[in-house]
Structure 1
Amino acid sequence: MAENEIGSQLSHQLSLEALPTELVLRIIGELTDLDALFNLIRASPVASRIFDHYAHEIMDAVLPMCPLKIEIQHLVRAVILTRSSALPVNNLHEFKLLFEEQPLYLSDGCRCPPLTLPSDSLNAASSESIRSGLATACRISALTNTCLGFNLGRLHDKSICNPYHYGTREYPLQIFLGGRNASRKGLMEMQLVGEVQKLAIRDPDGLGWPLEDIEEAARFKPEGFVTNHNHYFDGMEEEAKTVCEYLQQLRGEDDEDGEPSQRSPIDYYRLPRPPAIKARTWITEMPKPTMRKTQFGNVYDLGNRLIPADPPIQSLELLVKDRPPERLGIHKSPFRGQDPIDADTTGLGIDRYIDFAFRSAESPLPDVPFDVFRRLGFALWDDARMRAMRFVGKYDGGRFTAAQFFVWRSLLPEEEIAEAAARIKARPSYAE
């Protein structure tokens, strides 16, 4: 047999389209990334047909294994259920509670995920809603990374800081887990609020809420709702505001192109189209497990799921590459923003801004607004990036030094510096 004929037969045998349905279904169910799942069903007619028949089973298998925070997984489910008019919320008050502060974890002062939907909740959704929800989740994935890239690009300006300070050989800083989680969470929350608004307009009976609640939901403004400070601990709303400013910039570009950013009122809610990407360069890596103490006992936090740790699980090495110790000595990054737990707290940039503007009696710039720092992504960056850019000292013990005050001051326009100086002069202690 000719060599080219053998190669042709082998290529045909190895084709995904020629595999039995059961084997293709098993391959799809082993995926651990929603982007990969969406690209597969777009590229393969066989995978697309199988997804249409087994959409519920596939999402139940893939979603819990994705590198998404548990809270973001619940938001994906909620968006899909809303599109199927099956969101398990009885009224507007219950819906708002999904975004309110929740009881804290017992040991770390971080909030619990406010939205909890069982893994089988998608059984109430239609296959069409699952497919469209998957496409939306992938659009938000692209928006998340382009948002981070957009804000990071502003730091490359040599007039702001040394271009080598946003990454070093020792800490290349390609991955900023905390910022990615915060951005995606804000986008998914806006998507959910927009879906509820659209449903209240398109099919009021689909919500099953009282009439006055439906009328209020129809007037929702997703960006205003998500950035409401009542939904967060102090400062956390700045993460959502950072994302909203990026979306406004995208909508401005869409308007210039003559394309509306939203479709007709009867359609699903759509965030702006992400900018064209020549090649996907980001990789969403799973964080190493950390130990958390909750009201249900000790758990391993793997980012996308919690696993009970009492008694210690001997098979944890099957779930993560690096097997953790059998008890509490779990790996934790020395830099905040690289562990799953860090998505539930304010970023270092926000904490230091609050110290700088409100808590420090020695600050030369009291009560300065966060606007300038937000435009540079300070709400999203982790410890490693803030320290590499010299906005936070390595060994400052949580206190601002004179050099740190100068660095932060250098970013502000002259009018804000003058206003801060006037506020200092107006203090009673200064007048004395």
Structure 2
Amino acid sequence: MTQRQLKLGALTMGCGGPGRHNLWLDPQLPADASVNVDWYIEIARQAEAALFDLMFIVDSQFITEGSPSHYLNRLEPLTLLSALAVSTRHIGLVGTLTTSYNSPYNVARRLASLDLISKGRAGWNVVTSGDAGTAGNYSRDEHYDYATRYGRAAEHVQVVQGLWNSYEEDAFVRNRATGQFLDPSKLHSLNHQGEHFSVVGPLNIQRSPQGQPVIFQAGDSEPGRDLGAATADVIFTHAASIEQGQAFYRDIKGRALQRGRDPEQILIMPGAEIYVGDTDVHAREIEQHYHQLDHSFELALKEFGRNFGWHDFSQYDLDAPFPQESLEAARSSFFTAAKRIADHARDEGFSLRQAVEFGRQLRPGAFVGSAATVAEKMAGWLQARAVDGFNIYIGHPGQFDRFTREVIPLLQERGVYRTAYEGSTLRESLGLSIPTCTPGRVQAR
């Protein structure tokens, strides 16, 4: 059997994502990185030179003055990825679009356009929008409840995939001798009538070289895991240990198998924050240094309310017991994460100050050390079937430089990472098959 190889994604949050408000202070990083297309192009080309599978752009559509610096001022994902598409040749281009506040037809058309522009390198990160405040930007008084969000998401993805099957592969004859442009027998309307959406179709754009964009998803709740197992080609997650990674890996692959899917055709790629030093001790010093530099209690307190529907925690006494009533504000937000925080604060008897401090304290990463140590650990997680790859957070530019220059060659020497791209599309890079065209209906998985 061919040895399994790591898949790598590059996740950048420009000048500073959650918990990293002060990243923009790094002089190696443009202070306007989040809206600087030249910087994005540079990072994409660097990741492509290192043979990364994809570049991943996150998004949200609601902010407060306490939001991380990247969230306050950033480019819309598909607009940005279209610019990267004409500036790169091989790397996949994955953008976040919410199913809660987008129509399936527009999502299908925009992503299909990116897929053609990039010649088959587009991916869609499916989210349901956890920021409850988003509702106010889309003419709604309230955010969708948990069940509705995931019900809409499942149907939304099926409708989008149905629209991507509007044309069969060879529908466009383009025969100048006969004057025939289209074979009308290979154009198919959708005529979908569902619980959340009614979409006639067909979509006015052909299939791409990879058939259709790759579906990505992240969600750790039970509905989130079910959605990922049913619809996703690649799942992003978080794993603090190899054992935690193995448990999630087995769970998702098992759920996929129960739905009649090939478990090898769904990839698990947890996020990884990597620090490379001259020695293992030096790397831990770097990790500690950047943690202190990028964090502060004041900014962490402002951001603390995000999981709780941007509940205002400044109204409470910091040294009084953690306000358990705040969990109600999270019902239509990131409830799974908020409940984990509130339950832990209750069990430990934390004050609000202690809960915030606990959330921002340094948790030593699994992939911190010399280049040899990092390569060994990454290979170990792959071989233990805790992962199929990693979505690597790009924060401080100097660290990404060290990873690509020092760790990548060691992974290649071990035979767990490619030495050249396998093809020109994202599906070829990831080892995913081209979906069968099933025209005229939504695809149920």
What TM-score, normalized by structure 2, do the two folds share?
0.26
What TM-score, normalized by structure 1, do the two folds share?
0.26
Task: Return the structure number with greater helix share.
Answer: 1
Structure with larger Rg: 1
